[in-house]
Structure 1
């Protein structure tokens, strides 16, 4: 392999300022080209070979290109998308003025779909707004979802696709199938309304009735750059109990306990390793957001309460090991948990290390 140093042996060394100017020009050209590809330059490149040929450290070029792609997505935030439907019928977003509703409206409009919004003060003309709609999406708080679905009964065309985007699926899907005899699909965007775009995000799809009728909608979501994960409503809710309810409860409980201890956060941060600082930031992130949202997620179903109860009760035996200073038992339990994670433990170790390195590099850049 001929690396950069060997290649330039005997050549006059160009000033750093000149190299920086050339690098900036090439980055600008690469950024513009990535935007022209719809913010996804990754499909058109094989950086490993190019980086190796240039003698670059492993991962450097990949990190740089990933950053360029993120910037390209920001710059392309208002760009148009291909339309998945040849002749799209209107989309009605019930709750379209909310955070997720606004995101969906923007993406549909930029894809050429006619969009109407039905808000809480619009029910007097709901029949007018729903007339001719091909897709109706309920995007309201969890505690209002089933009630709002009930208000749609008898108002939709027989072949209209009825969807919801709440983080609970079993009850809303059953409610939609009871309210509408036509196609039904449950959706759950696995991200918040503050994302810059849908590229790289996950939409969960829980089919209800006539799953083929959701084909154009799902293709449109994929055109937006998101990944579709399909499962049953029941499978979704069991997984969300762990992914959302249990995780959010643990973060909530940790933050509430910290508030009772009331340590100096500035000092805690100064003494923290990068991984603990990141963990503390994730706790702070939760408390910077809407408490009603997290209350809705955690309190969404009795299943969540039962799972959290099992978790809290399961902590007592672990506490007894600590109180009893039983080192051997602690290690035995640790190894049992490690066996459950298997190869994933090492994979998570590597990936979290890479993530921390990127975060540290970004923080150093900002100083």
Structure 2
């Protein structure tokens, strides 16, 4: 039976080999992922290695090469003040900007006595405050700013925020929207929407930093951003909120239902549970952020109503016609959607199998204090 020491030696060897593989792939004209996946199928079968395990190795290597942060990005150190820097997303930006060598300071709601010092000398003032407070905070900080200071925000609605920054501050302005929560340790593989406001040359260093840290910048007007967020955020959040409310009112035993669940049902329940585990005010404010969002949600409810009436009438032909009309709208996405969803399903199935294997291992009994799980964990909506 292998000893723990032998297992550690094997793990170290695997780590070394993976490092060598990444270095070799980076130095060569990289073979296609499909070629790498299929080249050794016979050897995998002989060695008893499942294809999904090899697929994970290949996919992980390709993703690392595609999103590898730049280590050569050297920038002049800037003075940065993050308003709301003790919040979850605020701390993320404090960490990333500090690690890049910048002088980062934090201004919180109880620290306005230091506003002149913290805001007046800053090269960048970044607002990481709750959505409802964004416009008021913009107006509050603007009088302290130098004309050369870049004013930026990370609110999830951009039209009003960018316009208020432009109206309140004569210097450089940019609206940002990180399309992720604060759980990550870097921008690696993450999207950040950029809505230019004024004097973009003054904040190019910030955009270069995000890209050098592995981020993907999506340039957009504030108006396009807000239209897209109706679908990307408001409609999605409302649909998940509605499903969670319905299942709760129906008294469905969620944990028991997962015993019967397909991977897709489990993913859906995980998405709903993720939303409901977070701060209610954050999501409700996003739903109520604009009249456009409320009107779109009302149209969604009307679609629910129309389809439910067809079901109540047993109108099979009409329901098939509705299905086909929707299918036509999504027809261009079918190949991509199947490929991506199959990848997610396969990896979820692998993860669940590993957890089940772990659960079947008998651990020695240990006496300890019970852990306490918070009722909710507040994170940025994404």
State the Cα distance separating 1:131 from its structure 2 match.
Answer: 3.2
Residues 80 and 110 of structure 1 are in contact (CA less than 8 Å); yes or no, is this contact kept in structure 2?
no
Once the two structures are superposed, the pairs formed by residues 181-196 of structure 1 within 5 Å of their partners are: 181-196=170-185
State the Cα distance separating 1:29 from its structure 2 match.
Answer: 0.7
State the Cα distance separating 1:25 from its structure 2 match.
Answer: 4.0
* 1:27 paired to 2:14: yes
* 1:168 paired to 2:157: yes
State the Cα distance separating 1:273 from its structure 2 match.
Answer: 1.4
What TM-score, normalized to structure 1? 0.85
Equivalent in the alignment of 2:54: 61
What TM-score, normalized to structure 2? 0.81
Gaps of 5+ in 2: 45-49, 357-382
Gaps of 5+ in 1: 1-14
Q: Which residue of the other structure, out of 299, 323, 329, is the alignment partner of 1:340?
A: 329
CA distance in 1, matches of 2:38, 2:285: 50
Question: What does the per-residue CA deviation read over 1:135-154, in whole Å, with 9 as the maximum and x for residues that have no partner?
Answer: 11000000101111101122
Equivalent in the alignment of 1:235: 224
CA distance in 1, matches of 2:107, 2:22: 34
CA distance in 1, matches of 2:196, 2:122: 20
Equivalent in the alignment of 1:9: none
CA distance in 2, matches of 1:319, 1:20: 57
Which stretch of the first structure deviates more once superposed, 19-28 or 326-335?
A: 19-28
CA distance in 2, matches of 1:357, 1:326: 36
State the Cα distance separating 1:253 from its structure 2 match.
Answer: 1.0
Question: What does the per-residue CA deviation read over 1:149-202, in whole Å, with 9 as the maximum and x for residues that have no partner?
Answer: 101122111111110001110111011111110110000000011223321000
Q: Which residue of the other structure, out of 113, 120, 123, is the alignment partner of 2:112?
A: 123
CA distance in 2, matches of 1:143, 1:328: 46
Number of equivalenced pairs: 343
Residues 37 and 58 of structure 2 are in contact (CA less than 8 Å); yes or no, is this contact kept in structure 1?
no
2:142 counterpart SS class: coil
Once the two structures are superposed, the pairs formed by residues 188-267 of structure 1 within 5 Å of their partners are: 188-267=177-256
Structure 1 vs Structure 2 CA RMSD? 3.1
Equivalent in the alignment of 2:263: 274
Which stretch of the first structure deviates more once superposed, 341-350 or 227-236?
A: 341-350
Residues 154 and 177 of structure 2 are in contact (CA less than 8 Å); yes or no, is this contact kept in structure 1?
yes
CA distance in 2, matches of 1:204, 1:31: 33
Once the two structures are superposed, the pairs formed by residues 101-180 of structure 1 within 5 Å of their partners are: 101-180=90-169
Residues 173 and 184 of structure 1 are in contact (CA less than 8 Å); yes or no, is this contact kept in structure 2?
yes
CA distance in 1, matches of 2:97, 2:28: 24
Residues 201 and 225 of structure 1 are in contact (CA less than 8 Å); yes or no, is this contact kept in structure 2?
yes
Question: What does the per-residue CA deviation read over 1:75-104, in whole Å, with 9 as the maximum and x for residues that have no partner?
Answer: x9xx9965552x222111011000001000
Provide closer, same or farther for how the CA distance between residues 84 and 315 of structure 1 changes in structure 2, counting only shifts above 3 A.
farther
CA distance in 1, matches of 2:29, 2:103: 32
CA distance in 1, matches of 2:245, 2:237: 12
Residues 202 and 228 of structure 1 are in contact (CA less than 8 Å); yes or no, is this contact kept in structure 2?
yes
Provide closer, same or farther for how the CA distance between residues 71 and 232 of structure 1 changes in structure 2, counting only shifts above 3 A.
closer
1:266 counterpart SS class: helix
